[in-house]
Amino acid sequence: MTCIIELNDNLSEKIHYDRSDYPIYIRRGVLSEYPNYAAPSHWHTDIELIAVLEGEMSYSVNGQIIRLRQGEGIFVNAQQIHFGFSDSRTECHFICVILHPMLLCAAPAYEQDFVLPVIHSGSIPFVALSPGIDWQRDILRQIHLIDQSKGLKTAPLKVQSAFSEIWSLLYENLPQEDPAANPQGGDLTAARNMAGFIQKNYTRRISLKEIALSGAVGQSKCCKLFAKYFGQTPNTYLNQYRLNKSLELLRNTDLSVTEIALSVGFSGASYYTEIFGKYFGKSPSQFRKTARPEG
């Protein structure tokens, strides 16, 4: 099954929480669910926690690559551009937990004193978690406890308890904020703005100049930022976003391949089919038959 992350126009991920009334998402995943063993670059206002169960993967946070092996994990702070991938296309089984910080805000003082200092810190985009470090091992243990609670009637209470313990461990062990430790803040904002521009305008022909202008940078800087934060060129990012949008139409409509190609911004069916095959390893028609076997 192909797993596609749904993104909002500003590149933030649409989180489909496990329950509509609690901002909690818990799942076990495998890297091969994603096209080319790579999740799309994304960010969200939630906290993301990963624990590797089997295998290994690379994890990019704001362009910094972290190698995660079996037994290890990562804490990703809010609003950081991140994605997991494997250049060698090797399998990785993992737990993914996404929690909104509002779960920790039982009172305004909690939010002001303990939550905001962490999520607004420019020097703490992520923490790699190693079982060889006591407090990080405790966080990994809490991630597993959250995973085990899924499906229980009292899951929201158990998750909130575990999340509070994780946050306490992070708060106690993270370094003091360094006002000069966030030189890339402007670059990160520019990268988000340019990705958001692509997502809002992907159906029409857009130029590198327009993409760069949306981030208030030059074209050369634009390409460098896409390479750093997304690991690809602006044009490749644009094509992959168009392809991902086309999957929704292949699954859920009876539009022809040509109609779909044009509606997501490709110049024609031939080029669309060529790019689709390179990215997904099958033609649009083959994907449609797999996604809609009843048809």
pLDDT at res. 248: 87
pLDDT digits (tens, 9 = 90+) for 194-222: 988 998 899 999 999 999 999 999 999 99
Q: Distance between the two ends of the chain, CA-based, in angstroms? A: 17
Mean pLDDT of 225-236: 91
Whether the pLDDT of residue 295 is over 70: the answer is no
Q: Which CATH architecture has domain 234-295?
A: Orthogonal Bundle (1.10)
pLDDT at res. 139: 98
Query: Nearest Cα to 127, choosing from 83, 182, 89, 72?
Result: 72
Q: Given pLDDT bands bounded at 50, 70 and 90, which one contains residue 279?
A: confident
Whether the pLDDT of residue 53 is over 60: the answer is yes
Query: Nearest Cα to 272, choosing from 232, 245, 233, 234?
Result: 245
Q: Which CATH architecture has domain 24-173?
A: Sandwich (2.60)
On average, the pLDDT of the chain sits at 89
Q: Which two three-digit tokens encode residue 56?
A: 């290994």
pLDDT at res. 132: 97
Q: Which two three-digit tokens encode residue 269?
A: 């069916």
Q: Are 94 and 133 in contact (CB under 8 A)?
A: no
Within 8 A by CB and 6+ apart from 8, the residues are: 14, 199
Helix (H) or strand (E) holding 98: strand 92-99
Mean pLDDT of 58-69: 94
pLDDT at res. 177: 60
% of the chain at pLDDT higher than 90: 67
Q: Helix axis angle, 219-230 relative to 185-201, nearest 10°?
A: 90
pLDDT at res. 41: 83
Lowest mean pLDDT among 4-8, 18-22, 101-105, 249-253: 4-8
pTM equals: 0.81
pLDDT digits (tens, 9 = 90+) for 258-271: 999 999 999 999 99
pLDDT digits (tens, 9 = 90+) for 95-134: 999 999 999 998 999 999 999 989 988 788 999 999 999 9
Tokens 């028609």 map to which residue? 285
Q: Are 41 and 230 in contact (CB under 8 A)?
A: yes
Whether the pLDDT of residue 6 is over 70: the answer is no
Mean pLDDT of 3-9: 58
pLDDT at res. 176: 67
**What's the CA gap between 128 and 75, in Å, rounded?**
6
